[in-house]
Structure 1
Amino acid sequence: MRIQRRDTEQWMSHRLLPDNIRERIRRYEQYRWRETRGVNEDTLVQNLPKDLRRDIKRHLCMDLVMRVPIFEKMDEQLLDAMCDRLKQVLYTEKTYIVREGDLVDGMHFVMRGKLLTTTTNGGRTDFFNSVYLKAGDFCGEELLPWALDPHSSNLPISTRTVRTITKVKAFALMPDDLKFIASQFRLLHSKKLQHTFSGNRMARVPDRVPPMLLQKPPEPGCTSEE
């Protein structure tokens, strides 16, 4: 820690950073050290055997991910793939995660801390709305329709400003990772793939089934009038 702190101080001096930015860097480094004790958790987990890594990610992330309604419909393997791609992020107080009008560059699932989201609805006069986020909440959901659209290219614009009130620990899902998960989600729910896998897994009854498909076939030797 001392060596890292010394290197950071030397770098800030070399770059002639102003005092207010230096203080923000110091606060962040102190918070990161308290949370990780110098251990890169993502690297540590990624180096573990696949089945152990999956179980750890399920324990840490699954409950958070399942709070998003659309994710409840996902295949278990896709949920595991999503959890595997989540990265732990830390924020100190009064940090802007995204500002209204900026590109949305990640979806965040809050593990600990408190945030405030605000919107002026595109700068409308006399319009202001604010919502508090806490552990178990998420933000950056503008990425979902973007990721589910196979023809989308440019990242969506944030409709809200998200700022931390306290220190925040969260998991983040990057746009490219979400796009990959969404493409696999569409693939698994295509009729062709459902037919391919019908012999290996129980088929789900669609939301709207023609009445004839739900009727029990007649017994051999019986007529429908009987």
Structure 2
Amino acid sequence: VRIEEMRVRRQDAEQWMSHRLLPEDLRERIRRYEQYKWQETRGVDEETVIRDLPKDLRRDIKRHLCLALLMRVPMFEKMDEKLIDAMCDRLKPVLYTDNSYIVREGDPVNEMLFIMRGNLLTMTTNGGRTGFFNSVFLEAGDFCGEELLTWALDPHSSSNLPISTRTVQSRTEVEAFALMPDDLKFVASQFRRLHSKQLRHRSEER
């Protein structure tokens, strides 16, 4: 049944691409993405499956999948279990085919990415400075888009998303989890509230 669903999906995609007169290079990128998604999920929508489970089971699965990744971020180590659980619950699985641009230098950062599998290359020209170029490889266990975390933690930050100082591009097929701006804002506000409560408690004890 799943293979038939995949065949129909591919047929629909081809018809849509043809109707929209997409150039061949774009069509090929769409085909590659659909093929990769099929290889990874076999047609199962993981997010829907997890979302439909009871809350405690959903939390334990997300913890199993994501906790070690989150703990690589120094600030997250200071958070209590409830906040970590809230963050795990908000992580969204994402897939990228090779040579996909996750973000370009100078564009808004719209996700914080935690890499489960694959390699990314981050590059910067330091705002176009003449002769300046720096690149770093990221792999499973690494993360990028931390500008979004700094932005979320600042209670005085504007509603405009932070601007990326780097271009991030996948060098292989990449499987990752993403935290979106609203999710990080929510977690950051909870963290600030908890932190101020702890400070008040300590001052009362003195």
Scaled to the shorter chain, the TM-score interval is: over 0.9
Partner of 1:136: 141
8 Å CA contact retained: 1:106, 1:143:
yes
Q: 1:43 to 1:194 in 2, by over 3 A?
A: farther
Residue of structure 1 aligned with 2:101, choices 96, 104, 128: 96
Q: Secondary structure of the residue that 2:61 maps to in structure 1?
A: helix
Q: Deviations over 1:107-126 (max 9, x none)?
A: 00000001100001111111
2:115 & 2:98 partners in 1: Cα distance?
Answer: 14
Larger radius of gyration: 1
**Map 1:1-226 → 2, pairs under 5 A:** 1-152=6-157, 153-191=159-197, 195=201
- State the percentage of identical aligned residues: 76
Alignment coverage as a number of residue pairs: 198
2:82 & 2:37 partners in 1: Cα distance?
Answer: 31
Aligned-residue offset at 1:149 = 1.1
Structure ranking higher in helix proportion: 2
- How big is the alpha-carbon RMSD for the aligned residues of Structure 1 and Structure 2? 1.4
Query: What runs of 5+ residues in structure 1 fail to find an aligned partner?
Result: 196-202, 207-212, 214-226
Query: What runs of 5+ residues in structure 2 fail to find an aligned partner?
Result: 1-5
Aligned-residue offset at 1:134 = 0.2
Spell out structure 1 runs of 4+ moving beyond 2 A.
Answer: 191-195
Q: Secondary structure of the residue that 1:16 maps to in structure 2?
A: coil
The one-letter amino acid of 1:25's match is I
TM-score by length of 1: 0.85
Q: Deviations over 1:111-152 (max 9, x none)?
A: 000110000111111110000000000000001111011121
Higher relative contact order (CA 8 A, sep 6+): 2
The one-letter amino acid of 2:30's match is I
